[in-house]
Chain A
């Protein structure tokens, strides 16, 4: 059963087409990774699903019902964890969660019970009387999640829920996502951290320039580039490196230079490692480490979009 189904969804801002006739299906029980660089159309799509933006064309169905015709039903079954913290600093953690859950029609003891449940789920049960200004970044992120799940939605959209927090809080959140999924929630997850997506998502879609350019499981996406190999070279300084010159080496397809790391993707059938090393040595570039990598999601993303996820 599809929890979310999008057909030919389009959104224009003036002449600019932010989302260009995309179609997607998210099945019940999936953790759906939605990847795209900044400006790719990811947030616009999420905002249309959440009812924050109106589409110019196409349809969105949640649990088989068109969200435009069944707004209340769609909203009741949807939880949003926005990228920016959306909490009130003047209210306690309990009051924050209680207020947002109350917007979904919960009242009285049921509202209190579900508020406590949500806070306990994100590990803030002991901090329910504190205001967020006394919380660490990770705790605020967890409160942000609690506000979205107290009404027990069937579909939860998490937009960069781990941005800017410590590794411990990140692990806590990732475990919470898995637990929510085990409890029957379907999750749409976006992140700039590819390793997170690779770790928890069961299905992934990549959006670029408003279009879905790839969709499938991690394995399916990686299989797209089995004919590729990647070399990661750590150098002392990348100053004398000209990616355009490296690209001229036989078999080289893409070159990415970040800080003191050069990543080179080549045709897997051509053995060009000697040529690459010869080139770097001839330019007096000091090599500190070299690693030939199996294709991963980051490689896939770079191959398909020509840019890094953090670009």
Chain B
């Protein structure tokens, strides 16, 4: 046991003296969170500012209907929809095409014809909705007038002022961009731990210190466990710092179940370090490290570390293969749905895969001559 601690202590010192590791594990993710969280904040913003809407109109309605349109106009003005009567020589369609007006409405005895500019679909959609609501009410009143003219006034008596009302089907709790990137970049960095661990055993062979370790009266398993625990400890510490900084400085939301989220991240670190050690055990060239690097990049991309991927269609299967997809979804469920059980399958998968890789590595190490 004391040998394991002795090796662990040396490994921790070595890793923390390596400036590249610290930059990569701490500075890089914090900068990435800040850059992506700020630059892509619009993608996560649920409110869109439309501004004022200007409508040109030509009113050829008869005297009975004209007051109703006037009332409609008044209420629409309250919603920043401004109406301007088109002059005799004004080409309304041209004005819309040029972007001088957001819509051009022609009202006559046959109905309402509305022209909008397709380049600004939000304003156009709003106008379509508003005019559609007005025509529905107008048609209703017209029908009433045909059968019971005395009740037509009642049909228009109470003019609506809420022509469009939207109810969001999405839950109220959704991650903002900083919340999202704090999570996905932290889990991505957990996966990058495998790259650091891939030099644990191979590094001793390269430095020629492997022979000295094997010549010493220490079990190979002690060397292995010491190195494994050291890496898990170091990376867990880095991840803890990332969480603290992102929470305190960037105000990222880590939810009300932070200990559970931390435990889940710990299982991912164990998973990553195990993969790294596996590569370190069996690779004798830089090739395996390059393949590991590609795996991390793909897992990060499909895991949504760079941008949020939704409705992936046929690509969904690839997304589901990424270990980052598993853990990111689990953490989101814990934070935003209070679904604590989401942690169980991901933690179990991480630990089972890690255990399998470590068992294979230890068995191979015992059989092998040297490290």
Is A53 interfacial (CB-CB < 8 Å)? Answer: yes
Minimum CB–CB distance from A13 to chain B (whole Å) comes to 11
Interface segment, B35-43, B209-217, B248-256, B275-283? B209-217
* Secondary structure dominating the interface of B: helix
Residue ID in chain A nearest B3 by CB atoms = A103
Interface segment, A32-40, A78-86, A238-246, A288-296? A78-86
Residue ID in chain A nearest B217 by CB atoms = A75
Residue ID in chain A nearest B223 by CB atoms = A103
Is A137 interfacial (CB-CB < 8 Å)? Answer: no
Contact A52–B211 (Cβ < 8 Å)? yes
Is B78 interfacial (CB-CB < 8 Å)? Answer: no
Contact B14–A88 (Cβ < 8 Å)? yes
Assembly CA distance A51 to B213 (angstroms): 11
Question: Could you give, for residues 333-357 of chain B, a 1 whenever the CB lies within 8 Å of some chain A CB and a 0 otherwise?
Answer: 0000000000000000000000000
Question: Could you give, for residues 1-34 of chain B, a 1 whenever the CB lies within 8 Å of some chain A CB and a 0 otherwise?
Answer: 0110011001001100110000000000000000
Residues of B within 8 Å of A99, CB to CB, are 6, 10
Tell me the B125-146 residues at the A interface (CB within 8 Å). none
Residue ID in chain B nearest A75 by CB atoms = B217
Tell me the A102-117 residues at the B interface (CB within 8 Å). 102-105, 107
Contact B211–A104 (Cβ < 8 Å)? no
Contact B208–A85 (Cβ < 8 Å)? yes
Q: Which of B2, B208, B213, B217 contacts A84 (CB 8 A)?
A: B208
Contact B211–A100 (Cβ < 8 Å)? no
Q: Which of A76, A82, A91 contacts B212 (CB 8 A)?
A: A82
Assembly CA distance A161 to B17 (angstroms): 29
Contact A50–B215 (Cβ < 8 Å)? yes
Contact A72–B212 (Cβ < 8 Å)? no
Is B64 interfacial (CB-CB < 8 Å)? Answer: no
Contact A54–B369 (Cβ < 8 Å)? yes
Contact B216–A52 (Cβ < 8 Å)? no
Residue ID in chain B nearest A54 by CB atoms = B369
Q: Which of B3, B17, B209, B369 contacts A87 (CB 8 A)?
A: B209
Question: Could you give, for residues 204-229 of chain B, a 1 whenever the CB lies within 8 Å of some chain A CB and a 0 otherwise?
Answer: 00011101111111100000000000
Assembly CA distance A76 to B215 (angstroms): 9
Is B370 interfacial (CB-CB < 8 Å)? Answer: yes
Is A236 interfacial (CB-CB < 8 Å)? Answer: no
Is A71 interfacial (CB-CB < 8 Å)? Answer: yes
Minimum CB–CB distance from A140 to chain B (whole Å) comes to 12
Contact B17–A90 (Cβ < 8 Å)? yes
Is A188 interfacial (CB-CB < 8 Å)? Answer: no
Residues of A within 8 Å of B6, CB to CB, are 99, 102-103
Question: Could you give, for residues 32-73 of chain A, a 1 whenever the CB lies within 8 Å of some chain B CB and a 0 otherwise?
Answer: 000000000000000100111110000000000000000110
Q: Which of A53, A80, A87, A90 contacts B18 (CB 8 A)?
A: A90
Is A147 interfacial (CB-CB < 8 Å)? Answer: yes
With a 10 A CB-CB cut-off, give which of A50, A89, A100, A102 has the most chain B CB atoms: A102
Chain B contact patch, size range: 20 to 34
Minimum CB–CB distance from A183 to chain B (whole Å) comes to 21
Assembly CA distance A103 to B208 (angstroms): 16
Residue ID in chain B nearest A147 by CB atoms = B212
With a 10 A CB-CB cut-off, give which of A78, A102, A103 has the most chain B CB atoms: A103
Known: A99-B10, A103-B3. A52 touches B370 (CB 8 A): yes
With a 10 A CB-CB cut-off, give which of B13, B217, B370 has the most chain A CB atoms: B217
Is A95 interfacial (CB-CB < 8 Å)? Answer: yes
Residue ID in chain B nearest A101 by CB atoms = B216
Residues of A within 8 Å of B211, CB to CB, are 47, 50, 52, 80, 82, 86
Q: Which of A54, A82, A103 contacts B218 (CB 8 A)?
A: A103
Q: Which of B3, B208, B212 contacts A100 (CB 8 A)?
A: B212
Minimum CB–CB distance from B24 to chain A (whole Å) comes to 16
Contact A53–B369 (Cβ < 8 Å)? yes
Residues of B within 8 Å of A47, CB to CB, are 211
Contact A103–B213 (Cβ < 8 Å)? yes
Contact B215–A75 (Cβ < 8 Å)? yes
A51-B214, A99-B10, A147-B212 known; 16 new pairs, CB 8 Å cut-off, are A50-B211, A52-B211, A52-B215, A52-B370, A71-B217, A75-B216, A82-B212, A86-B211, A86-B212, A87-B209, A88-B207, A88-B209, A91-B10, A95-B13, A100-B216, A103-B218
8 A-B pairs with CB atoms under 8 Å apart are A47-B211, A75-B215, A86-B209, A87-B209, A90-B13, A91-B10, A100-B216, A105-B2
Q: Which are the 10 A-B pairs with shortest beta-carbon distances?
A: A103-B216, A75-B217, A84-B208, A86-B212, A86-B208, A90-B17, A50-B215, A80-B215, A72-B217, A86-B209
